[in-house]
A and B are shown apart, each in its own frame.
Chain A
Amino acid sequence: MNPIIQARELSRWYGIVMGLNNVSFDIGPGLTGLVGPNGAGKSTLIEIITGQLQPSSGTLTVFGEEPWNNPRLLRRIGYCPEGEALPKDLRPLDWLRGLALLSGMSRADAAARCEAVLDQSGLAREHWSKTLGQFSKGMKQRVKLAQSLMHHPDLLVLDEPMNGLDPMGRQEIAQILKNLAASGVSILISSHILAELESLCRNILILNWGRILASGDQRDIRGDIRNWSEELSISCDAPEKLARHLFDAGVLLGFDLSSDGRLHIRVKDPQAFYADWTRLLLASGVQVHDIRSQTRSLKSIFEKVTT
């Protein structure tokens, strides 16, 4: 399958500060998460993809074309920026109508489409008569999302779209994005809320210090990480006995007993442990109530690759 976004030896400097450092990657269709700490280069990458910045060296193409000053390509891209800045004196419908006309819609289509995307983004109609300056952070996020959907883009680029949303709002937005992805829209989403990205995106791109640290399927990335130690939390009848047994079996790197009686263990070789753990637990003679992995999350992957 042809990649939607392709970067080859892409670099971007701000004076002597390196924003992106010789990165190469492919992003395919579907939902892709862009992960990285502050200053990693996520916004820089997003702004190059959306044609707001030019690479200092290397190339980046979207749908096979370079984005800078490319209206034909920009017609296929929807962009939702991170910042909260909106024209504070305008009402949402007026602003969206202006942007719709600027995007090439007729007046009639613009009017209908503006209402449709505002409904789709979940902004309650009672707020439509207010000016954007009177909106809360969450309401602004919804309007920004609405403007990115105006012209039916093939690629949606979202920079921290969940900022300012309550958990229910985040769920709503996540569902919107899933629906869009199901309808064929490719989505690149940058977020610090790793738990949301984890459930939303199978493919991720991890950035730090302007470099790509990992990219691809989350499961594949996890498998590629060497010396991956697994942390487990076990609720059982005799935690000390179980800990001693597992330690004697040579599978533990360490363990801990928490105040709630749970046993927290770190295993050396997760694959080997999981292959043999039923036998180990039976042989211990301890009754186990539940067992949870602490390190199968995107957060743990992120922490692993960025340290």
Chain B
Amino acid sequence: MRPGFLRSLAGIWLLTWRTEMHWKRMLIRIPGLFVLPVLIFMALSEAKVVFSRTSQRPEPAIVLNEFAVRLQAMNMPLDNERLARLSAIFHEEFERSAARWRNSSRLISAEEQNAEMKDCYDRIRRRARTVLDEPQFVQLQSFINETSRSRMARQPLWNWTLPFYQVLLNLYFFLVLPLMCVRAAGGLIRDELQADTLGFLVTRPITRARLLLAKYLAHAGWMQILLAIQTGLIFAAAAWCGVPGLAKLLPLFLAVQFLAVLAWNALGVFLGQLTRRYIALALLYGFVIEMGIGRIPTNINNLSLMRHLKTLLAHDAPLQVMFEWSPQGTPFSVCAVLLAAVLFVGLAAALFTWFEYHHRAEMQA
């Protein structure tokens, strides 16, 4: 009997998914999958309300009414026809400005808001020239100057979809996902050691390196399925709330997530082989490499996995603008992530081949 690698992988896969699909685990896992989608739903629901409240665009009807009252006081009242035409102009130009803000996917500074309002009033001025007589037009110019000064925006205006991207990326993709992968993969051998079941596996007719590789692939496969479902639920919650552009983002996100899961699982396996306290080591790695070295604006930041994942995600235009990421060097980043995965798994396999990882030593440590 000469076990091929695929057959060994099939065996480990059977043991993996049968264990993971136990009803007790499902009882915890399934509700857990809904935590982030519910969080997103709540955040976006509130965001819509806050966005409309903080929007400092004045209502066109109110502005027009103030102008009409002013003309009335100066014995230059607007007749119904002029009022109707002027009202249409005000509503169209204000809506044009609002649509531009509404569809932007980033913070809009106060300067930009004021510049946009200035453009809006300039457009109103140009169009109103053909509607108003000369004295009324002079009053309109004066009114617009005073209104612009009194209604200047002083705070940035953030797009209501921003919380979704912050939860999706800063919380889920760059925190929860790596931690989940490293925690689970780090225990691939350690958990078997502590449970004293590793002996059943290492006494099979398979090299230790192949055994570790089979466990890694089976486990990474399981995590891919689980996290794809998680991502699907997150996007579903966002779609429910009306976030635009998700159909374009989802395939890219899933592809990058696929690479990320491979890499983070590989890191976890390697750290798990290094030490029992692999979570602490992973946090240290995160602080030093990802948050430290990864942010240095020179080539040394290529050591950071997150930096490469950001490059890949930057192919989505809103993300590119929102987080100021650059998609330059995509092929290099793909290779870097895959190379990191191969390197970590290779090192882990080498450690597992050279060292014994004995239950007695594990329990005494």
Contact = CB atoms under 8 A, between A and B. Distances in A.
A101 B10 contact: yes
Interface string B11-26: 1101100110010110
Contacts of B202: 51-52
Interface string A90-111: 1100110111111111110000
B358 A104 contact: no
Contacts of A14: 360-361
A102 B19 contact: no
B325 to A, nearest CB: 42
B19 A87 contact: yes
A81 interface: yes
A75 B205 contact: yes
B282 to A, nearest CB: 25
B199 A97 contact: no
Nearest to A104: B3
A77 interface: yes
Given A85-B196, A85-B197, A86-B197, A98 B205 contact: no
B18 A74 contact: no
Contact of A99 (B4, B11, B22): B11
Interface in B321-364: 353, 356, 358-361
Contact of A90 (B1, B19, B204, B205): B19
A284 interface: no
Contacts of B196: 81, 83, 85
B1 A101 contact: no
Contacts of A95: 15
B204 A52 contact: no
A163 to B, nearest CB: 14
A89 interface: yes
B301 interface: no
Contacts of A72: 205
A77 B196 CA distance: 19
| Chain A binding surface SS class | loop
A106 B197 CA distance: 23
B199 A147 contact: no
A48 B184 CA distance: 30
Given A51-B203, A85-B196, A151-B205, A94 B14 contact: yes
B285 to A, nearest CB: 29
Contact of A151 (B1, B19, B25, B207): B1
Contacts of A102: 3, 7-8, 11-12, 201, 204, 206, 211, 214
Nearest to B352: A69
Contacts of B22: 89, 131
Interface string A141-159: 0000001000100000000
A101 B197 contact: no
A104 B11 CA distance: 9
Contacts of B208: 69
Nearest to B19: A89
A81 B195 CA distance: 13
A86 to B, nearest CB: 7
A20 B323 CA distance: 62
A93 B35 CA distance: 35
Contacts of B14: 94, 97-98, 101
A71 interface: yes
B159 to A, nearest CB: 46
Contacts of A77: 203
Nearest to A71: B205
A87 B214 CA distance: 18
Contacts of B18: 89-91, 94, 98
Given A51-B203, A89-B18, A98-B11, 6 more contacts: A52-B202, A52-B203, A52-B356, A83-B196, A87-B19, A91-B18
5 contacts: A69-B353, A71-B207, A90-B18, A98-B12, A104-B4
Interface of A: 14, 47, 50-54, 69, 71-72, 74-75, 77, 79, 81, 83, 85-87, 89-91, 94-95, 97-107, 131, 147, 151
Interface of B: 1-4, 7-8, 10-12, 14-15, 18-19, 22, 24-25, 195-197, 199-208, 211, 214, 353, 356, 358-361
